[in-house]
Amino acid sequence: MKKRFNTTGVCVSRKHYMVDISSKLKEIEKLIENEFYFTINRPRQYGKTTTLNAIANYLREKYLVIDISFEGIGDSVFEEEKIFCNKFLKLMINSLRFSDKKESDKLFNITEEINDIAELSEVITSFVGNAEKDVILIIDEVDKSSNNQLFLSFIGMLRNKYLSREMGKDYTFKSVILAGVYDVKTLKLKLRPEQETKYNSPWNIAADFNVDMSFSPAEISTMLKEYCDENNISMDIKELSEEIYFFTEGYPFLVSRICQIIDERIYELDKKPWSIWDVQKSVKMINEEVNTLFESIVKNLENNNELYELTRRILIDGEQIVFNPLDPIISIGVTYGIFKKGKDGLEISNKIFEEIIYNYMISKIRTCTKNMSLYNIKNNFIEPNGGLNVEKILQRFMQFMKEQYSSKDQEFIEHHGRLLFLAFIKPIINGVGFDFKEVQISEEKRLDVVITYNNFKYIIEMKIWRGQKYHEDGLNQLCDYLDINSLDKGYLVIFNFNKNKEFKEDRIKVQGKDIFTVYV
């Protein structure tokens, strides 16, 4: 069987190219050796199930591992205590059947039909007390049906047994791992039939889980090396790993999807060494996909106006937001995988998510724009050498704003002006180039758009006019940024909301740099 890259379901080493996560497994093993109970909560398609499967296989020689999932057991199981308890025991028995038939039979033999969680606790005590090894319990998708009192009672029972064990008064699991999107410690649980909700979880015994489950460039390289060895090809693994990480920040699904597209769609028939251009081509193809991960991100933004607005302020306005995990909107954004803690505060998780969200926001604003397609016809801006005539793009955008938006649209422009510009350039560069949004920390809340188109790079700074002094400081910062990117020419789009503003263009020399500016 020839291996392939996998982005659906659990990854299996005999069938799939996989990142070497042995260092992560060793960190998790330390938590288990110390008899900690903990939760692994990460966004969707973050490799939780694959990691849990790897943990179970890694530990089986030393421990008796029971790994089960609440995926697909249905909500009705959580409606009655007796049904849930018997279903839970059946899941345990079935899990052991494939790893330790003897222990599975022992559990089956002491399991009669039980009536409540107290009797379930007694069965666990009896089984663990007589097991030949320490017992580890792993429950995946634990938050699928967790929004009710019965689930609260179940994890409360596990907590009580943990505390009793610490005092030498009970036998229970050496370690319990609960995995899901949401942190069980902070689940919003329904406690009354009238749907009143409050935060109240007895899972406060859980230790912090600080293992980084994203893939570093070095870890990505282990998967690429396996691919090269199997296909007898040689390529710059370090360069490719860093390029993949640049776009994904190590988000497991995105890492595997980039590789899968290169292998199965770009080099489907003839396996050849990859280049960073193949990675970029793959990213373009991913950005045009519809998949459950991207649909989930859009759905979560669509269903939460506060989350949408905070995301827009970061991505479009270039606003610096302090990372505060106790803020409920920031917390839910991190839970959904939209946000991360960056070096300067709150950031979008990765460049692919930026593009997906950016495209989604553009699609929403298109319904509010006026005749934009008359101004941004792509062929009007392509140079003979394959580059872009950015000056012409900015001039046409200025004309579009002047002719299509009157003073009565002032509030709309203040709120959506930058998004309008991003929407304007999107069809011009689409299919060939990238446009990265880079927040530059300053009092002006600058947002630099870095466009790569064919082999050319352009930097366009967007900012709001806040007076001549801030403008001059911003020009110096732009020149520094151009130096970093080895460019001699830069571009400015300045949104001026003064009543006596005028639409105009300007060209100046600053620190040897040619800066072309339009005011709208």
Q: Which of 266, 345, 332 has its CA nearest to residue 303?
A: 332
Judgement on whether residues 362 and 374 belong to the same structural domain of the protein: no
Query: Could you say which of 271, 287, 303 is where a domain stops?
Result: 287
The phi and psi torsions of 505 (rounded to 5 degrees) equal -125, 160
The rounded distance, in Å, linking the Cα atoms of 328 and 302 is 17
What are the structure tokens assigned to 276, written together? 């960073």
Say if residue 194's pLDDT is above 60: no
Is-contact 5 263, C-beta < 8 A?
yes
Same domain, 48 and 190: yes
pLDDT of 24-35, one tens digit each?
999 999 999 999
Q: Which whole number is the average pLDDT over 395-412?
A: 81
Residues 430, 510: one domain? yes
Nearest 5°: CA angle at 399, between 395 and 400? 115
How many CB atoms are located within 10 Å of the residue 293 CB? 21
DSSP 8-state secondary structure symbol assigned to residue 65? E
Pair (282, 295) in one structural domain: no
Query: Could you tell me the two tokens for 237?
Result: 């693994």
Q: Are strands 434-440 and 64-69 parallel, antiparallel or unpaired?
A: unpaired
Q: What whole-number distance in Å separates Cα of residue 485 and Cα of residue 29? A: 44
Residue 143 phi, psi dihedral angles, 5° rounding: -95, 10
Using the structure block, give the residue that is written with the tokens 């006019």: 465
Q: Is 210 a member of any domain?
A: no
- Beta-bridged to residue 136, according to DSSP, are 65, 175
In a domain, 515, yes or no: yes
Residues 6+ apart with CB under 8 A from 8: none
Assess if residue 9 is contained within a domain. Answer: no
The model carries a pTM of 0.86
Residue 77 in any domain: the answer is: yes
Count of domains observed in the chain = 4
Q: Determine the structural domain holding residue 254 and report its residue range.
A: 217-287
Q: Looking at the DSSP assignment, which residues form a beta bridge with residue 133? A: none
**Spatial CA neighbour of 390 closest among 482, 224, 520, 518:** 518
At 354, the pLDDT band (50, 70, 90 cuts) reads very high
**How many residues are present in the chain?**
520
Q: Distance between CA atoms of 303 and 263, rounded to whole angstroms?
A: 36
- On whether both 363 and 329 belong to a single domain, the answer is yes
**Same domain (yes/no): 425, 509:** yes
**31, 124: one domain:** yes
pLDDT digits (tens, 9 = 90+) for 484-498: 889 999 999 998 877
Share of the chain above pLDDT 90, in %: 62
Residues 34 and 143 in one domain: yes
Residue, of 327 and 270, whose pLDDT is higher: 327
Residues 227 and 173 in one domain: no
Which CATH number fits the domain that encloses residue 71?
Answer: 3.40.50
Are 298 and 356 contacting, i.e. CB atoms less than 8 angstroms apart? yes
pLDDT at 477: 83
pLDDT of res. 201: 60
Distance from the Cα of residue 189 to its chain's centroid: 25
Dist. CA 346–CA 207, nearest whole Å: 25
Can you spell out the DSSP letters for 207-269?
BP-----SPPHHHHHHHHHHHHHHHT----HHHHHHHHHHHHTT-HHHHHHHHHHIIIIISSS
SS3 327: coil
The answer to whether residue 17 is domain-embedded is: no
- Among 263, 287, 311, the domain-final residue is 287
Q: How far apart are CA 90 and CA 140, in angstroms?
A: 16
The strand pairing partners of 460, in sequence order, are 449, 491
pLDDT tens digit sequence for 111-143:
888 999 999 999 999 999 999 999 999 999 887
3-state DSSP assignment of residue 46: coil
The H-or-E segment that residue 313 falls in is helix 305-315
Rounded-to-integer distance, Cα 253 and Cα 48, Å: 11
Contacts of 371 (CB under 8 A, 6+ apart): 400, 404
Same domain, residue pair 26 and 163: yes
In a domain, 5, yes or no: no
* Mean pLDDT score, 436-460: 74
Residue 504 within any structural domain of the chain: yes
Q: Do 419 and 340 share a structural domain?
A: no
Please state, in angstroms and rounded to a whole number, the distance separating the CA atoms of residues 3 and 230: 8
- What is the per-residue pLDDT for 68? 95
Looking up tokens 């279903």 gives 87
- Determine the 3-state secondary structure of 385 from DSSP: coil
Residue 12: inside a domain = no
| 262 and 300 fall within a common domain | no
CB atoms within 10 A of CB 383: 13
Domain-ending residue, one of 333, 350, 368: 368
